[in-house]
Amino acid sequence: MTSARPFPLFSLSPAPPVPSFSSGPSPILHRRGVTIIELMVVTTILALMAALIFPSFRLMQQRDRENRLREILSELDAARDSYKSYVSRQMWDKIEAANSNNNTRNKAFKQALASATELGLLFPLSPASFVYPLHAPGASFTVATDPDDLSSDPAKGVSVSINRRFIRHIPPHPFAGWAANARFEFGSATDTAGPNKTYRETAWPTTATGVKNVWSVGAGLAIDGSSTDEW
C-alpha cells in the first residue's frame, strides 16, 4: 500500500529578479538647470506685459480721480447754493412776518438780497462756513431792507443766523499726491485786498467775505483734453 504524500505547509517560489542599475547619470539626480537665454526670454516677456498693463492701470486711476473731482466740485456748488437758499429763505420769512403789505415785503426783500450780495453775506462767509457755521466769524449778521437807510441796525433791517452745516466736510483734492500742486481754491465775493482773489481753504484772510466760487487748481489736463482748472 502506497502511503499518502504529505501536503507541503508552504511552497518556495523563486525570488523576483533584482533590477539592475546602469552606471549612467540619473535623470532625476542630474536635472538640467535654467540657461541664461531662458531667463532673458522670461524677463523680456514680463517686461513687455508690464509695459502694456501699467499705462492702462494708470489711465484707470486718472479717470477715477477725475470722476471724484467732478463729484466734489458739484457737492461744493450744491452746498453753496443751499447756503444761499437758506439765507434767502430766512430773510424772506422775517420780512414777511414784519410787513403785511405785499409791495412793502417785496421791496424790502429785494433790498435785503442786494445788500447781502454786495457785502458777500449771501454766500458761505468762509470755507469753514460750509462745515462749521456756528464757529465761523460773522455767523449772525444783519442786512438793510430799506433802500433809503442802508445801516446794519437790526431795527432797520433783517438779522440772519446760520445754525446748520451744509456739507459734512470739504474732501481733500483727489489729485493731491498725484499732481504736485493740486488743490482747491475759493473765490471771494468781496475782498478789501482786491477783486477776483482766490485762496486756499487754510489761507482764507479776514479781508475776504463770502465764498462765491470753488476751483480746482494744478491738476493738469483731463483725459478728454480739457483743463481741470476750468471745471
Q: Which of 166, 191, 216 is the last residue of a domain?
A: 166
Tens-digit pLDDT profile for residues 114-125: 989 999 999 999
Question: Does 28 map to a domain?
Answer: no
125 and 160 share a domain?
A: yes
Mean pLDDT: which of 5-9, 99-103, 210-214 is highest?
210-214
159 and 175 share a domain?
A: no
126 and 94 share a domain?
A: yes
H or E segment and range at residue 217: strand 208-217
Q: How far, in Å, are 87, 98, 147 from residue 157 at the CA level?
A: 14, 10, 10
Q: Which of 118, 134, 166 is the last residue of a domain?
A: 166
* Residue numbers of the domain that contains 130: 81-166
Q: How far, in Å, are 39, 73, 185, 218, 228 from residue 178 at the CA level?
A: 35, 18, 17, 10, 14
161 and 228 share a domain?
A: no
Residue 121 near residue 140, CB atoms below 8 Å: no
pTM greater than 0.95 (yes/no): no
94 and 149 share a domain?
A: yes
pLDDT of 11 over the 80 cut: no
Residue 119 near residue 209, CB atoms below 8 Å: yes
191 and 221 share a domain?
A: yes
Question: Does 137 map to a domain?
Answer: yes
Question: Does 68 map to a domain?
Answer: no
CA distance 163 to 168: 14
Tens-digit pLDDT profile for residues 140-177: 888 888 766 656 565 678 888 888 889 989 999 999 98
141 and 182 share a domain?
A: no
- Give the total number of structural domains in the chain: 2
Question: Does 73 map to a domain?
Answer: no
89 and 159 share a domain?
A: yes
Q: What is the CA radius of gyration of the chain?
A: 40
